[in-house]
Amino acid sequence: MNQIIRFCMSCGEPTQNRTPDGDNRSRAVCGQCGEIHYVNPKIVAGAVAVHEDRVLLCRRAIEPRKNYWTLPAGFMETDETVAEAAQRETREEALGEVRLNGLLSIGDVPHIGQVHMYYLGELVDGVHGVGIESLETRLFTEAEVPWEELAFRTVTETLRHYFSLRSRPGFDATSPGAPYQFTAQWKPAK
């Protein structure tokens, strides 16, 4: 993923792509003031919000992947923690409050410059609704999850991990253990 920064964010002058001294990657460098502009991954935070034996999913009202199901999740803001972002996204997309129990998964998505982090939590009182970015919200058992209609690989990986953990003897939903770490491989459309 190669994002282009054409103008300096400090002084507004044009930038040139070059490898700064002491670096090993090409960066946008201002020819006027010397400012080096770094392009770093964005954090997507979300929750596997559980009520009884069901997980909360949202049918997306926006692109990308409009009409597909996803976990409540979205981009982290600069003034919040990852956990706060997961809770905010659950409120915004599903009108629900989630009590977080721990980080469940971390998915690297290098081809689009993102890191997806999902917490395991309890959907407070099972209450949910349709937020502005959703067409529908529902609670699903493992057997009911629309696996072929899930929006993103990180959602599929995270749900499969959660259901695998949950089936183990002695699983404690209030303490899910070390987060599952994976890389979501990109495959071109056929």
Co-location of 14 and 50 in the same domain: no
pLDDT digits (tens, 9 = 90+) for 92-129: 999 999 999 999 999 999 999 999 999 999 999 999 99
Q: What is the pLDDT of residue 189?
A: 52
CATH number at residue 139: 3.90.79.10
Contact assessment for residue 137 and residue 59, using Cβ atoms and an 8 Å cutoff: yes
Structurally, the chain folds into a number of domains equal to: 2
Same-domain check for residues 25 and 52:
no
- Do 123 and 176 lie in one domain? The reply is yes
Percent helix, strand and coil across the chain, each rounded to 5? Answer: 20, 35, 45
Q: 105 with 177, same domain?
A: yes
Q: What's the mean pLDDT when you consider all of the chain?
A: 94
User: What confidence score (pLDDT) does residue 187 get?
Assistant: 59
In a domain, 190, yes or no: no
Q: Are residues 156 and 88 in the same domain?
A: yes
Q: Which of 136, 85, 116 is nearest to 182 (CA)?
A: 116
58 found inside a domain: yes
Residues 2 and 56 in one domain: no
Q: Are residues 10 and 67 in the same domain?
A: no
Task: Report phi then psi at 96, rounded to 5.
Answer: -120, 155
pLDDT of residue 186: 67
Local confidence band at 32 (pLDDT 50, 70, 90 cut-offs)? very high
Q: Are residues 28 and 113 in the same domain?
A: no
**Is 189 among the domain residues?**
no
Asked if residue 188 belongs to a domain, the reply is: no
One domain for residues 111 and 35: no
Q: Is residue 138 part of a domain?
A: yes
Mean pLDDT of 174-188: 84
Per-residue model confidence (pLDDT) at position 52: 95
Taking CA atoms, 129 is separated from 92, 167, 181, in Å, by 10, 28, 30
The CATH number of residue 13's host domain is 2.20.70.10
Q: What is the per-residue pLDDT across 46-68, written as a single tens digit (0 to 9) for each?
A: 999 999 999 999 999 999 999 99
128-166 pLDDT tens trace: 999 999 999 999 999 999 999 999 999 999 999 999 999
- Note the pLDDT of residue 1: 46
If asked whether residues 35 and 46 sit together in one domain, one would say no
CB atoms near residue 42 (< 10 Å): 13
175 plus 90 within the same structural domain: yes
**Backbone phi, psi, residue 162, to 5°:** -60, -50
Q: Containing domain of residue 22, as a range?
A: 1-39
Report if residue 145 sits inside a domain: yes
Within this chain, do residues 109 and 68 fall inside the same structural domain, yes or no? yes
